[in-house]
Amino acid sequence: MRFFPALSCMLLFAQVSIAQVANPAQAVSESNARQHLVKKSEPVYPPIAQAARIQGDVIIAVVIGTDGSIASEKVISGPAMLQQAALDALKMWRFTPFLTNGIATQATTTLTFSFQIDKPGEGPSAEQEKAAQAWFPLSDKCRKALMAENTQDAKDFCKQALDMSFKAGDLNSSDQLGRMLSHQYYGHALLLAGGRSGEALEQENLAIAEAKKCLTDKDQEYAMPFFWRALVEESMGQGDAALADFTIAEATHRKAILNLPDMKETYGKTLASILKYHAALLEIMNSPDEAAKLRAEAAAL
């Protein structure tokens, strides 16, 4: 008699196995899949892609598990700069299980994530569109030259990127963000060149003006022109002004981390770096206790 429970379990296992074989993953339409959607996260438009006016649809092939979670995914098509944003959003999606003969099965489908800057019938001219597309590679060369501290290339590429941002126009927030970055980078290049701090300060002031048009103090990008202006001010001996800008940059990063907790690690590294610059200036200005507090915060990030 005691063999009967084991036999029953074996029979039950066999029945489930047969059912699983009989119910392979079912292919469903995107509209059907979206009807099963119970949790979703909208993709965050990458700022650099907005600035470069990269738009379009990212299409992802997915396998939805029997529990309704994403079992696997693969990008089929879409602009490369937008694909990771779509994949990051997809990780948070959940569905009610798909049933075949009353048994939950895997489902396969494609999901489309649309990234759109311009409203239908609106948008830049062909010349502006061309300039916006040319802006990104120039801005990338500018940024890389700055990282390498290649002064001449930085001045050349950053000025070219700034000129291209004006040709692209200032039609919407993505254009304004590109303009902000261009002013910010060119200001950095002028500071790197030495002897041009006044011009660098003017560029960072312009960057902050653009930031106020298209960003809020919860956006991490909003912090950066204040940080760079602080460095310029420090180089000019304007310690109090630099301290004020460091404080704004740090407060913005803290708000950005609260606003986007998933970005805490990335934003935290930048915040830690700013805190260290701030602490170094405080020590020069004979405020060692405040400097120690900032260094402790940086170490905890």
pLDDT tens-digit series, residues 273-299: 999 999 999 999 999 999 999 999 999
Residue 79 lies in a domain: yes
Picking from 49, 83, 115, the residue at the C-terminal end of a domain is: 115
Count: domains in the chain? 3
Residue 14 lies in a domain: no
Residue whose C-alpha is closest to residue 74's, from 56, 85, 87, 64: 87
170 lies in the same domain as 247? no
158 lies in the same domain as 199? yes
User: Tell me, what DSSP letter sits at residue 263?
Assistant: G
Structure confidence by residue, pLDDT tens digits, 184-205: 999 999 999 988 999 999 999 9
Residue 105 lies in a domain: yes
Picking from 149, 180, 214, the residue at the C-terminal end of a domain is: 214
- pLDDT category at 118 given cuts 50, 70, 90 is low
Residue 234 lies in a domain: yes
Task: Quote the domain boundaries for residue 147.
Answer: 119-214
pTM: 0.62
Distance CA 139, CA 164 (A): 9
Picking from 82, 115, 148, the residue at the C-terminal end of a domain is: 115
Ordered alpha helix ranges (H), the chain: 3-22, 30-35, 47-51, 80-90, 126-147, 151-168, 173-193, 197-214, 220-235, 239-259, 264-284, 288-300
